[in-house]
Amino acid sequence: MSEQSRPAPAERDGDSGTKYSERLWVPLWWWPIGLAITGLLAAEIHMGAPGLRAWLPYVILFPLPVWVLLFFSRLTVEVVPAAGASAGELRVGRAHLPLNVVARAGSIPASAKSAALGRQLDPAAYVQHRPWVPSMVLVVLDDPDDPTPYWLLSTRRPAALLAAMGVSDAGASSSAPETR
């Protein structure tokens, strides 16, 4: 499993594939640590158990860190082109956002991430944050029917995501999110 995310190939003639796709995998170094902790726990449990019961904690516990790390890595960020006159759609996990309601967007570097997620965060904002991903993207919405003022998304490749969305970086890296 690669820690690197790769944008999907650009849309071809008549192809309705994604313009951008990224899965936010946990760092590779988490895997040996998770397996080592599980091994120590299983060894502690099996101490004193003779025979076949000595291997039972290993068989039961080793799938657990694999499941947990895969569960943490389940979030995908995609930009999907739409058929017809619509501009397309931003998909983050199960959430969908039509690109025609995006007023502006910008990247937030790692140095401004704590400010964006701190006091200046609007409680009505949609946030998909992964602590192991250093940068984020701020997507400000212009939809009077939606109470969500903006989306904050973790991404390893903010410039590629913004380019796939068809918006230029609005300079969000120099300021924290605005509230309505």
Euclidean distance between CA atoms 85 and 144, whole angstroms = 21
Q: Which of 157, 156, 159, 147 is nearest to 105 (CA)?
A: 159
pLDDT recorded at residue 15: 45
Taking the alpha carbons at both ends of the chain, their separation in whole angstroms is 40
Q: What are phi and psi of 39, to 5 degrees?
A: -65, -40
pLDDT recorded at residue 48: 76
Taking the model in full, what pTM does it have? 0.75
Write down the domain spans for the chain: 30-72, 98-174
* pLDDT mean for each 10 residues of the chain (180 residues): 43 57 94 95 84 84 94 92 76 91 90 88 92 92 89 93 82 49
pLDDT recorded at residue 178: 52
Q: Which helix (H) or strand (E) holds 46?
A: helix 30-46
pLDDT recorded at residue 57: 87
